[in-house]
Chain A
Amino acid sequence: MALLEVEGLRVSFPTEDGVLEAVGGVSFSVEAGRVLGIVGESGSGKSVTALSVMGLARGAQVSGQARLDGRDLLTLAPDEMRRVRGRDVAMVFQDPLSSLHPLHRVGRQVAEAVRVHQDVTRAAARARAVELLGEVGIPEPARRVDAWPHELSGGMRQRVMIAMALANEPRLLIADEPTTALDVTVQAQILELLERLRAERGMGVVLITHDLGVVAQVADDVAVMYAGQIVERAPAATLFAAPEHPYTWGLLRSVPRLDAPRERELVPIQGRPPSLLHPPGGCRFHPRCPHVRERHRHVEPPLEPVAGDPRHSVACLLDAPTRRELRQGPVA
């Protein structure tokens, strides 16, 4: 049994203009000690997926299952979920400044995270906070424990957030764009830290990002989301070497890459992501897909394993030989 098993997750928000279905039935699993990257653009549903699993999607109608060690988190009462959150599953967000309390010293915030779930003295919690700050690579933790959030750099603040998330040794860490606000050299350090924690603690990690490079570097498995659905899922190496979905091809062809010739042309994806109030019928990518056929406008493609590789699934109505032909060798 996987650490986290999400099945048929649907999340919708009632709005003045109708029901907005942010997540339209996604299923995935995360093994202990592995990193699942969820990649997508704004409005793809990747963040709402994570928030719903954490019981933090306010005002949302959530259905489906999200089983942590077999226990469905979506059916837990709010106070039960509060006990799970932080202890069994923890989350790290993009912007550490807005998630830290500006008027409390960072050590106190980490210590409080410890005391929410553990019956320890203030002194013991503080000692644990120093330990945690050291563990996430903050130099001189015994001194920094008394720093104010604004005295720390963005990278250091993100380390504090990770220390708080680790306070109760969760089995699963969900990181939502944890490095998007950071400089590239700092990003590299934070990704290295996540990688080390995963290896040392055998934590499962869900890494949500729009950045294909980050996914390629850190994730073991990747799910590509588009308009509230997973359109492709595979081990990272497979996804980048042999992507099957036209949207994945589009993403890969539209980003400049340091490992491709400089003069390589960028091929943008035409149009823009659909409104989730009125998602297109059939395949949701069909209005932007260069390979659309008449049938794709009204038949919804299921997410199915690719022939010969049970770990690689794709939701595309094109048949396999056609896709292989269209992909034209390596997308790189």
Chain B
Amino acid sequence: MSEPLLEARDLVRHFGAVPAVDGVSFEVRRGEALGIVGETGSGKSTVARLMLRLLDPTSGTISFDGEDITAARGRRLKALRRDMQMIFQDPYSSLNPRKTAGAAIGEPFAVHGLHTGSGERRRAVQELMERVGLAPEHLNRFPHEFSGGQRQRVGVARALALAPRLIVADEPVSALDVSIQAQILNLLRDLQRDLGLTLVLISHDLSVVRHMSDRVAVMHRGKVVELADADTLYRAPKDPYTQALLAAVPRLQPSSASGASSPSSS
């Protein structure tokens, strides 16, 4: 098997005296979707920020494409930002309310000095918008004019702008209504397949993670307690915490069969 795209070794991150991440190692394979699932305080969001070098680890190392990036600074870090992008939970708070969708999506180009001609940049932005399912007339709209699902599409387009190799999505659908969640999940899946992206999906939602991931890491109190193929992990969880977590998820199959009358189905 080829070398992993990203590798975390013995990551530790303290906030004050408290270890939010307490000795975490895993690899992200090229082209895979890795799910990281856990409850509040499990350390999953801190791991996301450590991977992307948005936070410095207290100890441990992170390698990207075979290179130790734990201490990358300045120009090297800026170049890394092109390769690794993040999608956030709340697209509203992560977008500048005074910038149009077009400006928000084109901003990474400006920061990195790409597509400098205005006509060229506009075309690049329009291509991205089409890619994520936004209509051309959305170009000049402001965040408040969009629904939650559309704002998340803007967030996805922004993340795609620099053609990153790794996308880390932190609770990308938790703030969205049920009927809209599937739109965004399907979009992320299509992008991953079509563009050969590597995706790390962070979520508290065990069903979402199962649906989207090839492999799944379960975090609890700052540690990865189990990491396995999605099929294996959900079929035969080994760690007692994983088992407890799975047992707690409400199933759509109702418990009682009181008065069920199912005509053609069953």
Using a CB–CB cutoff of 8 Å, the interface residues on chain A facing chain B are: 41-42, 154, 183-185, 187-188, 191, 210-214, 216-218, 220, 235-238, 240-242, 250-259, 262, 264-269, 272-273, 308-309, 311-312, 324, 327, 329-332
Contacts and interface: CB of A to CB of B under 8 A. Distances in A.
B206 A220 contact: no
Given A252-B252, A259-B253, A266 B245 contact: no
A212 B254 CA distance: 10
A254 B182 contact: yes
A238 B39 CA distance: 32
Interface in B245-266: 245-266
B251 A216 contact: yes
A42 to B, nearest CB: 6
B149 interface: yes
Contact of B182 (A187, A268, A324): A268
Contact of A251 (B179, B207, B251): B179
A211 B179 contact: no
Contacts, number: 154
B261 A240 contact: no
Given A216-B250, A238-B261, A330 B178 contact: no
Contacts of A267: 182
Interface residues of B, number: 46
B175 to A, nearest CB: 10
Q: Which 8 A-B pairs have the closest CB atoms?
A: A213-B250, A256-B211, A268-B182, A237-B260, A254-B182, A183-B39, A188-B248, A269-B179
Contact of A327 (B40, B147, B253, B264): B264
A268 B179 contact: yes
B51 to A, nearest CB: 23
Interface string B158-181: 000000000000000000011111
B210 interface: yes
A274 B183 CA distance: 17
A43 to B, nearest CB: 8
A255 B259 contact: no
A238 B262 contact: yes
Given A262-B234, A272-B147, A273-B177, A324 B264 contact: yes
A327 B262 CA distance: 12
A237 B248 contact: no
Contacts of A41: 177-179
A15 B258 CA distance: 44
Nearest to B257: A237
B263 A240 contact: no
Interface string B13-26: 00000000000000
B210 A256 contact: yes
A214 B250 contact: yes
A266 B188 CA distance: 12
A255 B39 contact: no
A211 B262 contact: no
Contacts of B183: 268
A147 to B, nearest CB: 19
B40 to A, nearest CB: 5
A269 B251 CA distance: 21
Contacts of A265: 186
Given A269-B179, A273-B177, A184 B249 contact: yes
Nearest to B234: A258
A184 B206 contact: yes
Nearest to B251: A259
17 contacts: A188-B248, A191-B250, A211-B250, A213-B249, A216-B250, A237-B258, A238-B260, A240-B253, A240-B254, A252-B252, A255-B207, A258-B249, A264-B211, A312-B261, A327-B265, A330-B262, A330-B265
B207 A237 contact: no
B259 A241 contact: no
